[in-house]
């Protein structure tokens, strides 16, 4: 195997998904600790003096102690090159979260042991299911009182429709948390509260066959309960099957405590062995091999104004095949022109490092002079590659936007349009009203705050948002249709999106079927077809 193939084979690109407060940011930081990227984990929440987590950079995030935008973190560990796509875990997350999953090859799902599967996890899981990507589960916060372990597994299977295979098994929780039993190694890893934010702390590993030593550490009750549970588990749980894991049908489950750093490294080591090398992506109905010599990538995210000193837009690309070299020309397929990618960089939170090369599986950011859109393909000039577009996800909250100072119309239109191009919001217009009546749709309500904040800070425009009652959106698939003649329901609104495609907004879900019944041949869909 040449060094080019080796570079690609050692890459692991994954997203971390979780509900707010399940401990995702803490887990990410512990990974970075092992990769030698940071020496001391910073606390995300807490006192004003506490350091902010490495992966949060936007002012609004620092104020709220949450991740709003998805950062990309790269580090080396144990011969692997790891790309973590950190997704917002807040319940007010955005479409950005969904799109980030399009750039990952697998997902790590973090679940709070006391809360189990929560609504947000379900939504993200749906997107993973849509792509059939492998999912690895880390059940966190075992140092606090947790739900019954069998109940937790049962809930994952029922709620998410995926089989579970525990790789290790917790011995107690909260004050009685003694450690985990490793099923493959048939050994007990004992829990000690390590120094927070460091890699220190001794974990003793004892073979389950060394009964005296195990009894001494965990006591009679925990020992007999563990034996009963292992017996039950061996009879009831799905067998470990790496093929099923890679199809996204079986999730390996690990237990631990990210805060006290217990079980994190064991999880990371196992995950790296089980996770896939960069996966092929589909172009024009064909799979493109990541090991192909021809460079190709697609844009999955655009982020404006990351640098306060000067306005800029960064297009984030997932490299799908070959090797990127900064001095080589590439073809921007949708723009039909050959260009050099300007200022290629890897971004570690708010620190950037200019790159000269990167490989399939890597994520790079390039300066965008306003030519890229989400879903665009770039490839070697002679290659014939066009990746399938990224679906537009249906917003769930809507508001009418009014500017307070009508003299700033130009800045207002520019700001709203640019933020929409990044995909943080979607803009709709009342039928035949042009840009007079602007309705904004978002996946999570926090995006309204972000829109307001950014228009004020970056475009010097103040706005007022009037919430609208619509909750359901449907794109019209019929090509030749006079939307003005559609017979709808009283709670329906006709609008167009930024690309001029007609849509319908509804307050009630039952109105959708009623509208279909009243307009024979009408075809509606939840996603915009690219």
pLDDT at 491: 93
> What is the pLDDT confidence band of residue 136, given thresholds at 50, 70 and 90?
very high
Q: Do the beta carbons of residue 525 and residue 489 sit within 8 Å?
A: no
The pairing of strands 492-497 and 168-171 is unpaired
pLDDT at 343: 83
pLDDT at 269: 92
Distances in Å between the alpha carbon of 359 and those of 37, 81, 224, 290, 295? 20, 10, 51, 9, 9
Comparing 15-29, 80-94, 419-433, the range with the smallest average pLDDT is 80-94
- Residue among 439, 434, 436 at smallest CA distance from 451: 439
Compute φ and ψ for 343, nearest 5 degrees: 50, 55
Q: What is the pLDDT of residues 318-373, one digit of tens each?
A: 999 999 999 899 999 999 999 999 888 876 655 667 888 999 999 998 988 888 98
Q: Do the beta carbons of residue 194 and residue 260 sit within 8 Å?
A: yes
pLDDT at 98: 77
pLDDT at 42: 47
pLDDT at 303: 77
Question: Which position has the higher pLDDT, 25 or 150?
Answer: 150
* CATH architecture of structural domain 281-379: Beta Barrel (2.40)
Our separate counts of H helices and E strands in the chain read: 12, 31
Most confident by average pLDDT, 54-63, 198-207, 340-349, 390-399: 390-399
Summarize the confidence of residues 117-123 as an average pLDDT: 78
521 class by beta-carbon count within 10 Å (0-12 exposed, 13-18 middle, 19+ buried): exposed
Spatial distance between the Cα atoms of 246 and 274, rounded to a whole number of angstroms: 8
End-to-end CA distance of the chain: 39
Residue 72 has pLDDT above 50, yes or no: yes
pLDDT at 62: 54
Distances in Å between the alpha carbon of 280 and those of 3, 228, 321, 391? 19, 43, 8, 18
CATH topology of domain 13-70+87-97+104-274: Rossmann fold (3.40.50)
pLDDT at 45: 35
pLDDT at 194: 56
pLDDT at 405: 87
Summarize the confidence of residues 502-517 as an average pLDDT: 94
Residues 6+ apart with CB under 8 A from 80: 10, 11, 12, 272
pLDDT at 462: 93
Q: Record the pTM.
A: 0.80
> What is the pLDDT confidence band of residue 1, given thresholds at 50, 70 and 90?
low
* CA torsion through residues 398, 404, 409, 411, sign: negative
What is the number of residues in the chain? Answer: 530
Which residues pair with residue 492 across a beta bridge?
506
Q: What is the pLDDT of residues 243-274, one digit of tens each?
A: 999 999 999 999 999 888 889 989 999 999 99
> What is the pLDDT confidence band of residue 94, given thresholds at 50, 70 and 90?
low
Summarize the confidence of residues 190-206 as an average pLDDT: 67
The pairing of strands 11-18 and 80-86 is parallel
Spatial distance between the Cα atoms of 372 and 355, rounded to a whole number of angstroms: 20
Residue 238 has pLDDT above 70, yes or no: yes
Domain locations along the chain: 13-70+87-97+104-274, 281-379, 397-525
Residue 206 has pLDDT above 80, yes or no: yes
Summarize the confidence of residues 56-67 as an average pLDDT: 49
Comparing 37-41, 162-166, 319-323, 414-418, the range with the smallest average pLDDT is 37-41
Summarize the confidence of residues 11-16 as an average pLDDT: 93
pLDDT at 202: 65
> What is the pLDDT confidence band of residue 68, given thresholds at 50, 70 and 90?
very low
Give me the chain's average pLDDT, please.
84
Q: Do the beta carbons of residue 67 and residue 25 sit within 8 Å?
A: yes
> What is the pLDDT confidence band of residue 109, given thresholds at 50, 70 and 90?
very high
pLDDT at 50: 40
pLDDT at 70: 46
Residue 190 has pLDDT above 50, yes or no: yes
468 class by beta-carbon count within 10 Å (0-12 exposed, 13-18 middle, 19+ buried): middle
* CA torsion through residues 110, 116, 119, 125, sign: positive
Q: What percent of the chain has pLDDT over 90?
A: 41
pLDDT at 193: 65
Spatial distance between the Cα atoms of 156 and 151, rounded to a whole number of angstroms: 9
pLDDT at 465: 94
* CA torsion through residues 249, 254, 257, 263, sign: negative
Summarize the confidence of residues 404-426 as an average pLDDT: 85
Q: Do the beta carbons of residue 214 and residue 126 sit within 8 Å?
A: no
Summarize the confidence of residues 220-230 as an average pLDDT: 90
| CATH code of domain 397-525 | 3.30.70.3280
Residue 411 has pLDDT above 60, yes or no: yes
pLDDT at 44: 36
> What is the pLDDT confidence band of residue 39, given thresholds at 50, 70 and 90?
low
């Amino acid at each position: 195997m040449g060094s080019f193939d080796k570079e690609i084979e050692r890459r692991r690109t994954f997203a971390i998904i979780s509900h707010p407060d399940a401990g995702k940011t803490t887990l990410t930081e512990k990974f970075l600790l092992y990769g030698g990227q940071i020496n001391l984990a910073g606390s995300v929440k807490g006192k004003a003096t506490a350091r902010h987590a490495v992966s949060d950079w936007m002012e609004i995030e620092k104020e709220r102690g949450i991740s709003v935008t998805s950062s990309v973190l790269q580090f080396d560990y144990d011969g692997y090159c790891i790309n973590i796509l950190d997704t917002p875990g807040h319940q007010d997350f955005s479409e950005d979260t969904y799109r980030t999953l399009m750039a990952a090859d697998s997902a790590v799902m973090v679940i709070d042991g006391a809360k189990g599967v929560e609504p947000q996890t379900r939504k993200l899981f749906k997107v993973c299911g849509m792509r059939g990507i492998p999912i690895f589960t880390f059940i966190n916060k075992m140092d606090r009182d947790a739900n019954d372990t069998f109940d937790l597994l049962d809930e994952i299977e029922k709620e998410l429709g995926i089989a579970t295979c525990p790789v290790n098994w917790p011995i107690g929780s909260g004050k009685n948390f003694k450690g985990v039993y490793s099923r493959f190694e048939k050994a007990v890893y004992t829990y000690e509260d390590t120094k927070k934010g460091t890699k220190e702390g001794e974990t003793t590993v004892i073979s389950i066959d060394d009964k005296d030593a195990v009894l001494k550490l965990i006591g009679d009750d925990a020992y007999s309960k563990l034996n009963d549970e292992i017996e039950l588990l061996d009879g009831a749980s799905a067998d470990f099957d790496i093929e099923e894991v890679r199809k996204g049908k079986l999730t390996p489950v690990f237990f631990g405590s990210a805060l006290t750093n217990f079980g994190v490294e064991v999880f990371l080591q196992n995950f790296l062995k089980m996770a896939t090398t960069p996966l092929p992506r589909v172009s024009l109905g064909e799979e493109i091999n990541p090991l192909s010599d021809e460079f190709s990538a697609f844009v999955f995210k655009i982020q404006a104004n990351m640098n306060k000193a000067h306005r800029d837009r960064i297009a984030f690309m997932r490299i799908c095949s070959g090797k990127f070299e900064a001095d080589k020309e590439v073809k921007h397929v949708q723009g039909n022109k050959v260009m050099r990618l300007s200022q290629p960089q890897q971004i570690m939170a708010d620190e950037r490092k200019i790159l000269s090369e990167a490989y399939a599986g890597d994520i790079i950011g390039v300066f965008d002079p306003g030519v890229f859109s989400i879903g665009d393909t770039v490839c070697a000039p002679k290659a014939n590659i066009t990746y399938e577009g990224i679906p537009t996800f249906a917003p769930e909250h809507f508001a009418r936007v009014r500017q307070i100072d009508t003299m700033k119309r130009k800045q207002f239109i520019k700001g709203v349009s640019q933020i929409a191009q990044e995909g943080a919001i979607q803009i709709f217009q009342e039928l035949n009203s042009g840009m007079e009546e602007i309705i904004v749709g978002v996946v999570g309500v926090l995006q309204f705050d972000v829109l307001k904040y950014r228009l004020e800070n970056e475009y010097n425009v103040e706005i007022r948002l009037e919430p609208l009652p619509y909750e359901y959106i449907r794109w019209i698939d019929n090509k030749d249709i006079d939307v003005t003649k559609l017979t709808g329901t009283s709670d329906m609104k006709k609008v167009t999106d930024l690309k001029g495609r007609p849509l319908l907004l509804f307050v009630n879900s039952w109105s959708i079927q009623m509208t279909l019944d009243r307009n024979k041949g009408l075809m509606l869909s939840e996603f915009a077809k690219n």
